[in-house]
Amino acid sequence: MDNGMDNMLDMYLFETNSLLEQLDNLLIESEKNEEFTTDDVNEIFRTMHTIKGSSAMMEFSSLMTIAHRIEDLFFFVRENGIESLSSNDKSELFNLTFKSTDVLRGEVEKLENNEPLTTNIDNITSEINTFLNKISGKGEEPGPAADSGSAPAGTASVAGLPNSKCPYFIQMFFEEGSGMENLRAFMLVNALKDIGLDFEFYPEDVETNSATSESIIEKGFFVGLNSEEDMVTAVAAVKDQGSIHTYEVIHNEQKPKEEPAKTEDAPQVQQPAASPAPAGSAPKENANAQHANKQSLISVNLSKLDALNALVGEIVITESMVTSSPEIQGLKLDSFLKSTRQLRKLTDDLQDISMSLRMVSISGTFQKMNRIVRDMKKALNKDVRLTIIGEDTEIDKAIVDSIGDPIMHIVRNSMDHGIEITKEERIAAGKDPQGEIILSASHTGSEVVITIQDDGQGMDPEKILAKARRNGLLTKPESEYSKKEILGMLMLPGFSTNEEVTEFSGRGVGMDVVKKNVESVGGTISITSEVGQGSCTTLKIPLTMAIVDGMELRVGKSIFTIPISNIRQSIKIAKENLLYDAKGNEIVKIMDEFYPIVRVYELYNIDTDITQIEDGILIWVEAGEHSYCMFVDELLGERQIVVKPLPAYLNNFDIKNSGISGCTILGDGNISIILDVLNMYTAANI
Amino acid sequence: MSTELENTNMENEEQAPKTDISTERYLTFRSDGVTMGVSTNYVIEIITDNFITELPRVPDYIRGIINMRGQIVPIIDIRLKMGRGMSEYMDTTCIIVLDIDTVYIGIIVDSVQQVLDVDKTQISPIPVEDHQKLVNGMISLSSQEVLLFLNCEELISTY
């Protein structure tokens, strides 16, 4: 039961979040055009209606109330036509809608974090009410104000039995003021369907027509049944349902008991009378049509995908265990070989597909930036447009989640510091008065390249250098810094070019955090900038963290793997080429540069016979700004590996800092440890 | 490769009287001459042979990691963890894989013995709070022998 509730909550959160996201996009689109089209109004109305319905079902009253108010508001707008609003009112409407969706999102976030919902939402509701009163005062006739969305219908019709042949009827009344009667009725219908009953119910369109609430309140909800047996089962089920106030069984045998059978007033007939109903039939059809389009997509829990991927990884490993089993080596097994080839092809395909399942388009992350640019535009009073290129680029779900914040931070920086403060400055510099930020994503082989470019004032290397000097970040004479190095200093901890703290950036979370986030998913970040022409930040992110090209190497009996991307070259050197620096550390000269040597067996205390420099091999590696040579026994070869994280328990021992980033399972079922070239450098302390 | 615990459990089911509330099942094993027990609620499986991949730069009692059907499990030698000397691994040496609050961990023991029903009310605390932090109770099995209970939470906590 608990589990069922959790699933329902999950579904609710997923649905509400995606609705709010769609709504946001829609609002931004329409604000650009400074106009709500009739479709937009209908769409907002429908969205709010859905949120209201599902929130009521989950008994989240604050969400329901807010959604209800906005629904009312847009109901009015729809009835009176958007044209009836002055442009001032329109912009107020935009702001109000944005604000309300923010409140809704805040509430949803609270649900996600298991925090209690806000109980006092008077602020926002009264704001909506005031606005509604204001615009409705101007309108021709007083709209159906902040009360219930629909006007009282073809009123006071006497309760009546529907026109049906069913011999038995159950007439139900829901608890007074429980709200959403039609949905409650619909849930009841579903419950009855679940126990396999064959029945009719009235009003028939409870699912789609919220106006039926009225008739349910007045006359009750009717369920018609064909036999006494069914009736008894149904009554039992009805008793189990919550929120039903009273119910009554009626025998429909020409001689009505308590109920006068006024069939001519059947709910079907009076449904049109119940209008102006929210969600009339036309927009409803639209919604259905949209639904049909989405049918090819289903939402799957991420943990299931992870489990699938893990399983596929296992199959790949097991397959190679079977085919390279020592027992069959040297045997001539034609049909076996044929089958294993087939198996390998199938497992490869399976792996490709299971990997692709985790890939999602980056558009969600990009679209969020629209909102940020919009808000900051207002707050900073700058005119900026956001251009998005290649939002269909797909990337691993886990990576998408972790690069959202860095991108947001960079966009904020561009808005805040990049784009010139006034139009005049831009015009004086011969630029389009409207600033532009370009967000683009593209694939290059195994990487996704994301660039955030602005056409603002750019960054002055001199200023950066001066600031770095003040903050004591310089490590060599100023004249020796290249431009690239200077721009790289922006990403050092303790560096923030903006002296003032604004609402949007400069809150102590600087580019160093951005850099850290990007590096944590195996990516790199670089900044280029021309004074007066703007800046461009480039993120290079691996497609997936789960699979890497690795080089296997051996030290003693241990097998390690290092990512190919870190390796520059492997070399054998003779003893004579081994040099020593001033501290007596071993160094080697490659292409006129000196690099320190890290002997892996020494660093990790591994027993090996290969301690002479000419017996083993040097791997020249590079990570971040460090470059050095690793001394190992031998290279075993290149392989695609599936990265597995180490058990969390081992994190207690600071294992990451000793240069171990994860492990992978070899074809024979043994484990190879994946080395982190950068952390090894730190661990070796050279 | 591995002995599923279920089998051991099954055999025992017949001899053991139906458990009531105060009894709990314990898997007993020998380590450095003493008999110890761990609640079967924690035990996932017993592995008799598996190649342990050593990890560099960790305390000596962490022997390394193993691959248990795709799951990476860290392995602890509880002899060393309890501060006793290292001994050669023998044929009877095996790994008991435990699930302690979703933390998977394997412990190396000298030999696995049996599954016992233990009346929890009979468990007495350890008389002196000595260096054996890993033990949180004891019970006498016979006149000569006591059973010490492994403190699993302590096992995964670090200091």
Query: Do A558 and A671 have their domain in common?
Result: yes
Q: Which residues in chain B are contacts of A655 at CB distance < 8 A?
A: 55, 57-58
Q: Which residues in chain B are contacts of A649 at CB distance < 8 A?
A: 74, 103, 105, 156
Q: How far is CA A40 from the centre of its chain?
A: 24
The minimal CB distance from A604 to the residues B57, B62, B67 is found for: B57
Asked if residue B156 is part of any domain, the answer here is no
Q: How far is A614 from chain B (nearest CA, A)?
A: 24
Size of interface A-B (CB pairs under 8 A): 67
Whole-complex ipTM: 0.81
Query: Do A121 and A195 have their domain in common?
Result: no
Asked if residue A159 is part of any domain, the answer here is no
Asked if residue A345 is part of any domain, the answer here is yes
| Residue A476, C-beta contacts closer than 8 angstroms, at least 6 positions apart | none
- Cα(A643)–Cα(B94) distance, integer angstroms: 28
Query: Do A374 and A240 have their domain in common?
Result: no
B73 interfacial to chain A (CB closer than 8 Å): yes
Residue appearing with tokens 């009626």:
A250
The residue of chain B nearest to residue A666, with distances taken between CA atoms, is B67
Q: Which amino acid is at A597?
A: I
CATH number at residue A134: 1.20.120.160
Query: Do A326 and A405 have their domain in common?
Result: no
Q: How far is A272 from chain B (nearest CA, A)?
A: 58
Which residue from A531, A486, A525, A514 is spatially nearest to A412, judged by alpha carbons? A514
The residue of chain A nearest to residue B53, with distances taken between CA atoms, is A671
Edge-to-edge order in the sheet of strand B135-140: B111-119, B23-31, B34-39, B146-150, B135-140
- Cα(A357)–Cα(A309) distance, integer angstroms: 9
Query: What is the per-residue DSSP string for A12-79?
Result: HHHHHHHHHHHHHHHHHHHHHTT---HHHHHHHHHHHHHHHHHHHHHT-HHHHHHHHHHHHHHHHHHH
The residue of chain B nearest to residue A661, with distances taken between CA atoms, is B55
Q: How far is CA A582 from the centre of its chain?
A: 53
Neighbours of B65 (CB within 10 A): 24
CB contact under 8 Å between A647 and B70, yes or no, is no
Q: Which residues in chain B are contacts of A648 at CB distance < 8 A?
A: 103
DSSP-derived 3-state class of residue A538 = strand
CB contact under 8 Å between A653 and B74, yes or no, is no
CB contact under 8 Å between B104 and A655, yes or no, is no
B3 interfacial to chain A (CB closer than 8 Å): no
Query: What is the per-residue DSSP string for A312-333?
Result: HHHHHHHHHHHHT-GGGTT---
Query: Do A45 and A28 have their domain in common?
Result: yes
CB contact under 8 Å between B70 and A665, yes or no, is yes
B103 interfacial to chain A (CB closer than 8 Å): yes
* Domain extent for A216: 168-290
Give the count of domains, chain B: 1
CB contact under 8 Å between B74 and A658, yes or no, is no
CATH number at residue A459: 3.30.565.10
Q: Could you say which residues of chain A have pLDDT below 70?
A: 1-6, 137-166, 175-180, 207-211, 239-245, 252-296, 445-446, 494, 496-509, 544-547, 624, 667, 686
Whole-angstrom CA distances from B42 to A116, B98, B100 are 35, 5, 6
Reading the block at residue B126, the tokens are 């350890």
Q: Return the half-sphere exposure (C-beta side, CA atoms, 13 A cut-off) of residue A309.
A: 21
CB contact under 8 Å between B57 and A606, yes or no, is no
Which of A482, A507, A542 corresponds to the end of one domain?
A542
Asked if residue B35 is part of any domain, the answer here is yes
Asked if residue B16 is part of any domain, the answer here is no
Contact, A277 vs A203, CB < 8 A? no
Contact, A199 vs A169, CB < 8 A? no
Q: Which residues in chain B are contacts of A605 at CB distance < 8 A?
A: 56-57
Q: Residue A158: its pLDDT value, please?
A: 37
Asked if residue A162 is part of any domain, the answer here is no
Whole-angstrom CA distances from A278 to A10, A47, A101, A143, A144 are 27, 12, 20, 13, 11
- pLDDT score of B147 more than 80: yes
Residue to substitute from B2, B50, B67, B155, interface A, most A β-carbons within 10 A: B67
B53 interfacial to chain A (CB closer than 8 Å): yes
Our CA dihedral for A599, A601, A605, A607, rounded to 10 degrees, sits at -150
The minimal CB distance from B103 to the residues A314, A606, A649 is found for: A649
Asked if residue A571 is part of any domain, the answer here is yes
What HEC string does A600-659 produce?
HHHHCCCCCCCCCCCCCEEEEEEECCEEEEEEECEEEEEEEEECECCCHHHHHHCCHHHC
Contact, A12 vs A54, CB < 8 A? yes
- pLDDT score of B159 more than 80: no
Which of A120, A138, A156 corresponds to the end of one domain?
A138
CB contact under 8 Å between B72 and A646, yes or no, is yes
Q: Which residues in chain A are contacts of B51 at CB distance < 8 A?
A: 670
The residue of chain A nearest to residue B105, with distances taken between CA atoms, is A649
Q: Which residues in chain B are contacts of A672 at CB distance < 8 A?
A: 53
Query: Do A515 and A601 have their domain in common?
Result: no
CB contact under 8 Å between B65 and A655, yes or no, is no
Which of A542, A558, A574 corresponds to the end of one domain?
A542
CB contact under 8 Å between B65 and A653, yes or no, is no
The minimal CB distance from B53 to the residues A317, A653, A670 is found for: A670
The minimal CB distance from A647 to the residues B54, B104, B158 is found for: B104
Q: Residue A133: its pLDDT value, please?
A: 81
Asked if residue A37 is part of any domain, the answer here is yes
CA angle B48, B54, B56 (to 5 degrees): 160
Q: Residue A268: its pLDDT value, please?
A: 42
B104 interfacial to chain A (CB closer than 8 Å): yes
Asked if residue A148 is part of any domain, the answer here is no
CATH number at residue B71: 2.40.50.180
Q: Which residues in chain B are contacts of A601 at CB distance < 8 A?
A: none
CA angle A197, A223, A246 (to 5 degrees): 115
Query: Do A591 and A647 have their domain in common?
Result: yes
Query: Do A278 and A321 have their domain in common?
Result: no
Query: Do A517 and A608 have their domain in common?
Result: no
Asked if residue B126 is part of any domain, the answer here is no
Query: Do A366 and A492 have their domain in common?
Result: yes
Asked if residue B134 is part of any domain, the answer here is no
B11 interfacial to chain A (CB closer than 8 Å): no
Q: How far is A446 from chain B (nearest CA, A)?
A: 26
* Domain extent for B38: 2-11+21-120
Q: How far is CA A407 from the centre of its chain?
A: 14
B105 interfacial to chain A (CB closer than 8 Å): yes
Asked if residue B101 is part of any domain, the answer here is yes
Q: Residue B73: its pLDDT value, please?
A: 93
Give the count of domains, chain A: 5
Beta strand pairing call for B135-140 and B146-150: antiparallel
Query: Do A184 and A211 have their domain in common?
Result: yes
Asked if residue A151 is part of any domain, the answer here is no
DSSP-derived 3-state class of residue A584 = coil
Asked if residue B158 is part of any domain, the answer here is no
Asked if residue B54 is part of any domain, the answer here is yes
DSSP-derived 3-state class of residue A220 = coil
Query: Do A62 and A129 have their domain in common?
Result: yes
CB contact under 8 Å between A649 and B156, yes or no, is yes
Asked if residue A373 is part of any domain, the answer here is yes
CB contact under 8 Å between B58 and A650, yes or no, is yes
| pLDDT digits 0-9 by tens, A304-326 | 888 888 788 778 777 877 877 77
